Amino acid sequence: MWLLVPALLAVGHCLALANQKDSGPMDPGPSDVPPGPALPCHKLSVSNIDFAFDLYRQLASEAPGENVLFSPVSISWALATLSLGAPAASRAHLLEGLGFNLTLVSEAEIQEGFRDLLRRLPVQGPQLLLTLGQRSFSGLGPGAAQDPAGAQHSIREYVEKQTRGQLGAWVEELSNATAEVLVSHLLLRGILRLSPEDSDLGGRELDFYFPKFSISSTARLELLLPGAAVGGGLPEQPGLNISKVAHKAAMTLDEAGTEVAAATSIQLTLGPRPDLNLDTSPAPDTEFNRPFLVMTFHTDTGSMLLLGRVVNPLG
C-alpha cells in the first residue's frame, strides 16, 4: 500500500496567498528580519495538529480500507465551548483530551486562543469562502414543549442552511433524554488559480496534477473523545453530561476548486452517559491501492481545518 500526500497542501497555500493578495501587497522583507509576534491562536496550533492525528489513527484503525474525513477545528471548538461551563475537574479532562498540556498553556490562554482563531478564520472573497458557526439547541428533554422529532427537524434545517446542503439531510437521532444539543459547523469553498501570478513560484512553469474526488465520512466519537459533566444552558439548570458526539464531513475537489463542509453535534443529558451500543465489527475486506491523505491548513493561524484519508475517490 502506498501512502501519498497529494498537492492539496499546495492548493491551500495558493488560496491563502490569493486571499492575502486581495488585502494588500506582500513584502517578504530581508531574510534576517525576525518573525512577528505570536498570535494567541498560535498557542492552539500544535495541540490541534496532535489531536487531529491522534483521532485520525483511532478512526483509521476502526475502519480499515474506508474513507476517513473530519474537521479537527469543528470538533475541538465544540468541546472547548462546553468546557466553559464545566466543573474544574471536567474542564481539565476535556482540554487535556483535546491535546492541551495545561502545565504549558493555561485554560485562559486556550479560550483566548479559540476566540482569536474565530476572529481570523472567516473569509468571504471571490477566491475563498470560509465560514464557521455554532448554535445551542436547549429546552429539550422530558417535559419540554418541543418533542425530539421537532427538535431534530430544526437542527437538520440549521445544518443544511449553514453548510449549503453539502452534508445532505444529516443529523443524529435525538433520544427522549437529550436536554441540549450543541452544533458546530464549517464551510469552505475555494477556486483554484495556479497561474504564476497567484503563487510564489517566481514565474516558473510546472505541471500540477492531483486526483479528483468526492468523499464523505460520518463518525460517532463519544467513545474516542473525553466525556465529562458540563454546565447547563441556563444558570438554574443542573449540570449535564456529554452523551453522544457525532461528526460528518464531506469534500469535493476537481478542476474548478474544492468544497468542504463539516458539522459536529454534541448531545447532552441530565444523567450519566448511557451504555453505548456501537457496531464495532470490522469492516469487510476491501481491495485498494494508493490511498492518500488530505490535509487542509489555515496558514496564518497554523490550524488544521480538515484531515482525512481517501481510499475510494467516489465515496
Q: Are 244 and 277 in contact (CB under 8 A)?
A: no
Among 36, 125, 97, 113, smallest CA distance to 245 is for: 97
The set of cell numbers assigned to 281 is 465489527
Q: Would you say residue 160 lies in a domain? A: yes
Q: How far apart are CA 92 and CA 107, in angstroms?
A: 8
16-27 pLDDT tens trace: 433 443 444 334
Q: What pLDDT does residue 3 have?
A: 33
> For residues 263 and 251, what is the distance between their CA atoms, to the nearest angstrom?
12
Average per-residue pLDDT in the chain? 76
pLDDT at 92: 86
Q: Specify the higher pLDDT residue, 28 or 314.
A: 314
Between the CA of residue 115 and those of 58, 108, 120, 145, 268, what are the distances in Å? 28, 11, 9, 33, 23
Is the pLDDT at 35 greater than 60? The verdict is no
CA angle 103, 108, 110 (to 5 degrees): 75
14 domain-assigned: yes
Distances (CA, A) of 170 to 40, 59, 208, 220, 232: 34, 20, 35, 13, 25
Kindly state the percentage of the chain with pLDDT values over 70: 71
Q: Which CATH number do you get for residue 103?
A: 3.30.497.10
**Quick check: is 58 in a domain?**
yes
Contacts with 202 (C-beta within 8 Å, 6 or more apart), sequence order: 196
Assess whether pLDDT exceeds 70 at residue 179: yes
* Domains held by the chain: number: 1
Q: Can you tell me the distance from the alpha carbon of 131 to that of 261, in angstroms, rounded to the nearest whole number? A: 10
Residue 315 belongs to a domain: no
Res 206: pLDDT: 62
Whether residue 34 is contained in a domain is answered as no
β-pairing verdict for 229-230 and 128-137: unpaired
- Cβ neighbours of 302 (radius 10 Å): 18
* Average pLDDT, integer, range 142-159: 83
Residue 33: inside a domain: no
Residue 231 zone, left/alpha/beta (φ > 0; ψ -120 to 50; rest): beta
**Residue 159 vs residues 8, 165, 243, 289: alpha-carbon distances, Å:** 26, 8, 20, 34
Whether 25 is covered by a domain: the verdict is no
Question: Residue 127: pLDDT above 50?
Answer: yes
Q: Confirm whether 3 is domain-assigned.
A: no
Look at 29 and 218; give whichever has higher pLDDT. Answer: 218
How far apart (Å, rounded) are the C-alpha atoms in residues 265 and 119?
22
Radius of gyration of the chain (CA): 20
Identify the domain containing residue 237 by its residue range: 8-19+40-273+288-310
Kindly state the cell numbers that stand for 273.
452517559
| pLDDT for the residue numbered 212 | 80
